Amino acid sequence: MKKQSKYQEVVSYLKNGIESGRFPTGSRLPSIRQLSLDFNCSKDTVQRALLELRHEQYLYAKPQSGYYVLEQGQHQDLEIEVTDEHASAYDDFRLCVNETLIGRENYLFNYYENQEGLEDLRQSIHKLLFDQALYCKADQLVLTSGTQQALFILSQISFPSQAKEILVEQPTYHRMNRLLIAQGLDYQTIERGIDGIDLEELEGHFKTGQIKFFYTIPRFHYPLGHSYSEQEKRAILDLAAKYGVYIVEDDYLGDLDSKKGQTFHYLDTEERVIYIKSFSTSLFPALRITALILPNAIKEAFVAYKNILDYDSNLIMQKALSLYIDSQLFEKNRLARLSNQEDYQKQIEERLANTPCPLPHYPLHDGLLLDLRQYPKIASLKHSQLKLNFFEEAYLGACPYQFAKVSLENLEKVLNYLKAELE
């Protein structure tokens, strides 16, 4: 029989005590300090166990007092809300924030010397990434106050090649475009369509010797939704290694990949990939915590520059996220989002079955992508008040109006409009 971890031992002990009546309704549980001594484990381990039991509604917390047993029959598994993909994640995370404050760890309210980020969170993310086949050493992880800060630092520091230009796909993440313009950075662009990019053109850019890094969103590309195949990723990595170019892999929707496709980072054998994982997208926009896996060659410069921008990212939120991950709430809500995603796609398919789309179209995680390249009435469509997203900000130059996104809520109206216009 597999030996229980300390965390599981604490959970089992308390749960059995509550269910057997050893800890009756309304009674105060032993303190975190006492439980950590009894089980010879850290206070963090005890706190995670208590958080799980709070989540299962076995107990409740009183600030400055401790943990108390809820009335039996009151606890039940929490249902996953499907009406708002962020609602459950928000409620669970708020629980972790409260738990962090109840823990009253003094270091969370002071300066933290480690610029890489809170050690607890880095360890939590390290385990999370390992489970997602993203293998790295914990000391390769650095936390930033959001993806935008990470991209800014990468754009400012020197890379081993001393190259100065940044290669970006077009269209791409609009904030990356803004960063290039606002900072007056040197850049090159390469077109990425619904079928990917031209590898010969990519090699042409790399050949110049001027490319510092290639910024790409390989999975669920923003805004067109395309994902590179493993063959394409290997080809791009080969070119990067050949010409000494780094790849900045923005995996902002990786948690929605039910097929668990391999990342650039997984396939990389030359330490050419800088992997970016945002927790803002996974949980809720206000959570500005992003994790990077950095090659050793640039980590020191990255951390030094980060030290200029801020002393440390929000420690309370970092601790709360660590609890959130370690208590399996992150995984619970990731699975909930996948379930919501499947339901969302089914609803789109049902609408399309009732009202077929007269244009080529492709599924997106948050709508339907319309291919307008053969559509003859672009001007009228732009002024139709149909609330289409043409991705104007995703282009550094003029928007070509070749694609548009329509939401599920607006889909039937748009389909009827297109049908009438093309009859």
Summarize pLDDT for 250-307 with one digit per residue, the tens: 999 998 887 778 999 999 999 999 999 999 887 877 788 999 999 999 999 999 999 9
pTM above 0.85, yes or no: no
Q: Is residue 270 part of a domain?
A: yes
Domain with 202 in it: 106-330
Same structural domain for residues 167 and 294?
yes
pLDDT tens, position by position, 387-417 = 999 999 999 999 999 999 999 999 999 999 9
Same structural domain for residues 325 and 364?
no
Q: Is residue 95 part of a domain?
A: no
- Per-residue confidence at 85, pLDDT binned at 50, 70, 90? low
Identify which has the larger pLDDT, 27 or 248.
248
| Integer Rg of the chain from CA | 24
Same structural domain for residues 228 and 326?
yes
Question: How many structural domains does the chain have?
Answer: 3
Helix (H, G, I), strand (E, B) or coil at 278: strand
pLDDT tens, position by position, 189-232 = 999 999 999 999 999 999 999 999 999 999 999 999 999 999 99
pLDDT tens, position by position, 324-373 = 998 888 998 888 888 888 999 999 999 999 999 999 999 999 999 999 99
Tokens of 71: 């009335």
Last residue of a domain, one of 295, 330, 365: 330
Q: Is residue 406 part of a domain?
A: yes
CATH of the domain at 314: 3.40.640.10
Q: Is residue 89 part of a domain?
A: no
Same structural domain for residues 203 and 326?
yes
If one counts every other C-beta atom within 10 angstroms of the C-beta of residue 376, the result is 10
Give the per-residue pLDDT at 107.
Answer: 63
Same structural domain for residues 256 and 385?
no
Q: Is residue 371 part of a domain?
A: yes
For residue 34, give the nearest of 26, 23, 43, 21 by alpha carbon.
Answer: 43
| Spatial distance between the Cα atoms of 99 and 135, rounded to a whole number of angstroms | 30
Give the per-residue pLDDT at 80.
Answer: 36
Give the per-residue pLDDT at 44.
Answer: 79
| Spatial distance between the Cα atoms of 217 and 54, rounded to a whole number of angstroms | 38
Q: What is the mean pLDDT of residues 317-327?
A: 91
Same structural domain for residues 326 and 229?
yes
Same structural domain for residues 252 and 177?
yes
pLDDT tens, position by position, 21-69 = 888 887 888 988 889 899 998 887 888 888 878 877 788 777 667 888 8
Give the per-residue pLDDT at 110.
Answer: 64
DSSP of 131-198:
HTT----GGGEEEESSHHHHHHHHHHSPPTT---EEEEEES--HHHHHHHHHTT--EEEEE-BTTB--
Same structural domain for residues 215 and 326?
yes
Same structural domain for residues 300 and 160?
yes
Check pLDDT > 70 for residue 72.
no
CA angle 90, 93, 95 (to 5 degrees): 115
Last residue of a domain, one of 77, 93, 114: 77
Q: Is residue 230 part of a domain?
A: yes
Same structural domain for residues 293 and 413?
no
Same structural domain for residues 259 and 164?
yes
CATH of the domain at 71: 1.10.10.10
- Count CA atoms within 13 Å of residue 200 on its CB side: 0
Strands (E), 255-343: 273-278, 290-293
Q: Is residue 86 part of a domain?
A: no
For residue 364, give the nearest of 408, 331, 307 by alpha carbon.
Answer: 408
- Per-residue confidence at 75, pLDDT binned at 50, 70, 90? very low
Q: Is residue 88 part of a domain?
A: no
Q: Could you identify the residue written with the tokens 């089980």?
A: 39
Same structural domain for residues 128 and 197?
yes
Q: What is the mean pLDDT of residues 147-169?
A: 97
